[in-house]
């Protein structure tokens, strides 16, 4: 008769068998019942149309997971089968998880991009404006790469007045994201005008530190304007979207940050020419105003007023003399006419012939107006005879 074994022995035998047989398992399924534990462990299940299996990924492996697990996501798991003997439950112990059909880094990139987009990290309304003439620029990058040498050379040729401060920073590999964050925070406390965060080109793995959320947070929370200058023109990382300005290369970041001294010289020359032209125009206009004022003053001066008044007086005098002469001429004409009339009527100049002029009491009269006894004067051009009327008879 077979001797029975304990439940514990059975579970241990099953554990040994399963863990030995399935020490390296590669399985694909859809996530369900997902839990992120405070300890850092991840508990979930994967399923297909017919079956489900429990899974666990402990914190030691979960920390290297680039993307966020989501319910309904299809994944590929590399791991092994383990049995929890106290309960007789078996589960899939995950060592590595990749998204099915797409790279884990690409998925992590899209997930973080969508998350930060929702949080408003990419909003244009919060982007800070770069100063036109920065006095100090802090560069967060490696001190051994070619990028920093190119940046120094361009800065010297473009605008040598700006001071560059380099904070040597680990830009790839383990711990690089923490070092970048620390360097950004140091640079932000230096009260510089611009911070450039970046590095030269490389693979997506080399550039991955700039796709980490903690780096995005450091850029977002900085008070200093930040330019993200990572890789080549075709490389886009999360820091490019969060930063105030994205430069295609580290060299381009310096070109964006600094004015061109040659262009500024041309601009100054143009300003000087415009200033000289405007100055000459203003001087000419002022001279014309002075000439006009001088003419106006001359026209309204006391001397000209006196001349004007004297001319008016002369005109009045001339008009008066002319008018007075006209009056004199008229009077003289009247006198001459009277004289002519007087001479024409002067008895001395008249030839009365047999005619006499009869005067009574000093007034001319006719025979009809005299009476008997009147004393009369009979006058001719040569004689004046006094007579007494003796009689008056009608004929």
Q: What is the pTM of this model?
A: 0.59
The pLDDT value given to residue 19:
80
pLDDT tens column, 323-354: 888 888 888 888 888 888 877 766 666 655 66
Question: Residue 154: is its pLDDT beyond 70?
Answer: yes
Q: Are 18 and 83 in contact (CB under 8 A)?
A: yes
Of 183, 239, 243, the C-alpha closest to 208 is 239
Q: Lowest-confidence range among 48-62, 74-88, 374-388?
A: 374-388
How high is the pLDDT of residue 40? 92
Cβ-Cβ contacts under 8 Å for 249 (sequence gap 6 or more):
200, 229, 231, 232, 233
Percent of the chain at pLDDT exceeding 90: 50
Q: What is the 3-state secondary structure (H, E, C) of the chain?
A: CCCCCCHHHHHHHHHHHHHHHCCCEEEEEEEEEEEECCCCCEEEEEECCCCEEEEEECHHHHCCCCCCCCCCCEEEEEEEEEEECCCCEEEEEEEEEEECCCCHHHHHHHHHHHHHHHHCCCCHHHCCCCCCCCCEEEEEECCCCHHHHHHHHHHHHHCCCCEEEEEECCCCCCCHHHHHHHHHHHHHHCCCCEEEEEECCCCCCCCHHHHCHHHHHHHHHCCCCEEEEECCCCCCCHHHHHCCEECCCHHHHHHHHCCCHHHHHHHHHHHHHHHHHHHHHHHHHHHHHHHHHHHHHHHCCHHHHHHHHHHHHHHHHHHHHHHHHHHHHHHHHHHHHHHHHHHHHCHHHCCCCCCCEEEECCEEECHHHCCCCCEEEEECCCCEEEEECCCCCCC
* Predicted confidence band of residue 104 (pLDDT cuts 50, 70, 90): confident
CATH code reported for the domain at 7-101 = 2.40.50.140
Rg, the chain, Cα only:
64
Q: What pLDDT shows up at residue 348? A: 62
Return the biggest CA–CA distance within the chain: 226
Whether domain 110-259 has CATH 3.40.50.2300: the reply is: yes
**What residue spans define the domains of the chain?**
7-101, 110-259, 347-395
């Amino acid at each position: 008769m077979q001797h029975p074994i304990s439940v514990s022995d059975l579970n241990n035998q099953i554990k040994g068998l399963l863990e030995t047989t399935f020490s390296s398992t590669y399985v694909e399924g859809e996530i369900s019942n997902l839990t992120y534990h405070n300890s850092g462990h991840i508990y979930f299940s994967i399923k297909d149309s017919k079956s489900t299996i429990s899974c666990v990924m402990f914190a030691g492996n979960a920390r290297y997971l680039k993307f966020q697990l989501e319910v309904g996501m299809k994944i590929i798991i590399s791991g092994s089968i383990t049995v929890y003997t106290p309960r007789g439950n078996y589960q899939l112990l995950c060592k590595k998880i990749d998204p099915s059909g797409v790279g884990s880094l690409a998925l992590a990139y899209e997930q973080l991009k969508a998350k930060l987009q929702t949080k408003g990290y990419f909003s244009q309304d919060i982007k800070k404006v770069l100063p036109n003439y920065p006095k100090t620029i802090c560069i967060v990058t490696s001190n051994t790469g070619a990028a920093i040498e190119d940046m120094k050379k361009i800065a010297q040729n473009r605008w040598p007045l700006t001071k560059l401060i380099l904070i040597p920073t680990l830009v790839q590999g383990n711990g690089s994201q923490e070092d970048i964050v620390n360097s950004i925070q140091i640079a932000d406390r230096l009260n510089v005008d611009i911070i450039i965060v970046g590095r030269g080109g490389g693979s997506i793995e080399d550039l991955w530190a700039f796709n980490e959320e903690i780096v995005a947070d450091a850029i977002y929370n900085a008070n200093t304007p930040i330019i993200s200058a990572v890789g080549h023109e075709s490389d886009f990382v999360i820091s490019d979207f969060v930063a105030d300005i994205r430069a295609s290369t580290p060299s381009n970041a310096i070109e964006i940050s600094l004015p061109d001294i040659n262009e500024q010289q041309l601009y100054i020359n143009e300003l000087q020419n415009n200033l000289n032209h405007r100055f000459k125009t203003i001087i000419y206009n002022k001279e014309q105003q002075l000439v006009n004022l001088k003419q106006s003053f001359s026209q309204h001066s006391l001397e000209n007023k006196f001349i004007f008044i004297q001319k008016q007086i002369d005109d009045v005098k001339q008009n008066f003399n002319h008018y007075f002469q006209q009056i004199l001429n008229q009077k003289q004409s009247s006198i001459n006419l009277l004289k002519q009339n007087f001479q024409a009527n002067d008895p001395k100049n008249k030839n009365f012939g047999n005619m006499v002029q009869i005067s009574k009491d000093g007034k001319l009269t006719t025979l009809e107006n005299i009476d008997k006894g009147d004393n009369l004067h009979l006058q001719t051009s040569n004689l004046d005879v006094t007579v007494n009327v003796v009689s008056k008879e009608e004929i």
